[in-house]
Amino acid sequence: MRVLIIEDEQALAETIRRGLVNEGFVVRVEHNGNDGLWAATEERFDVIVIDIMLPGLNGYNVLREIRKRKIWTPIMMLTAKDGEYDQTDAFDLGADDYLTKPFSFLVLTARLRALIRRGAPARPVELTIGSLNLNPGRRSVTRHGDEIPLTAKEFGLLHFLMRQKGAIVSKSEILANVWDPAYDGAENVVEVYIGYLRRKIDVPYELSTLQTVRGMGYRLVADKPQNAHA
């Protein structure tokens, strides 16, 4: 199992490298974004770990360029920051996981193995359900060609729902994947943002695609007129 670590803190990078080698991984380490991007695009790895705060290209730009070149290797982002927008930005750009420093090496190893087991299926740069289109790289959403402005949280929520391909997701699943892990407020914040999204992606187009499934959660389906029967 080959791992690329892109981390500018050399002591931390070496600690991770030694630990992963002892676990049977083959590890390459780069200490800046430019060299990390070159390695990611020129060699094959089973998983890539990228620190967000890097000299040269920052981690977000490295991630963006990797996905832009249609390389779908699973990617975990590392950062000393801990905020919902950092996570949303990383997932919107194509990251598969996110770990905040300081972290347990056992947790890092377990999550890397999980990413490797999932593999790297090809995924489209854009997500489309009916006439609704979302481009994570450009952070844009359109319906019938109209640009729909969304806040960062609305965008993260829509992105999560579109990735589920019409499956029903619960409030707790949405909170776990879209909100900060430290969030301890009421679950009804999900209902509030679902309402915000409906007013932007459905109401102006007389559609009912963002559906509430009573007692279960929410799902996003292909174009459905507001007056259509279930």
Grouped pLDDT means (10 residues each) for the chain, 230 residues: 93 93 91 96 92 91 88 88 59 83 90 84 75 83 93 88 89 82 77 96 94 93 72
Task: Tell me the pLDDT tens digit for each residue of 14-57.
Answer: 999 999 999 888 899 999 999 999 999 999 899 999 999 899 89
CATH number for the domain harbouring residue 16: 3.40.50.2300
Shared-domain flag, residues 73 and 146 = no
Name the residue among 222, 208, 121, 217 with its Cα closest to residue 165. 222
Over the chain, what is the mean pLDDT? 86
- The residue from 96, 118, 140 where one domain ends is 118
Cβ atoms of residues 160 and 219 within 8 Å: no
Number of domains present in the structure of the chain: 2
Q: What is the CATH number of the domain that holds 136?
A: 1.10.10.10
The residues near 134 (Cβ < 8 Å, ≥ 6 apart) are 126, 127, 128, 140, 141, 155, 158, 159, 162
In this structure, is residue 206 part of a structural domain? yes
Q: Which of 89, 118, 147 is the last residue of a domain?
A: 118
Residues 143 and 99 in one domain: no
Q: Is residue 79 part of a domain?
A: yes
Residue at 225 is within a domain: no
Q: What's this model's pTM, rounded to 2 decimal places?
A: 0.57
Residue 156 CA to residue 161 CA, distance in Å, equals: 9
Range of the domain at 81: 2-118
CB atoms within 10 A of CB 203: 12
Q: Same domain, yes or no, for 102 and 146?
A: no
Asked whether 92 and 136 are in contact (CB, 8 A), the reply is yes
- The CA distance from 155 to 133, in Å, is 12
**pLDDT score, position 16:** 93
Q: Is 176 within the bounds of a domain?
A: yes
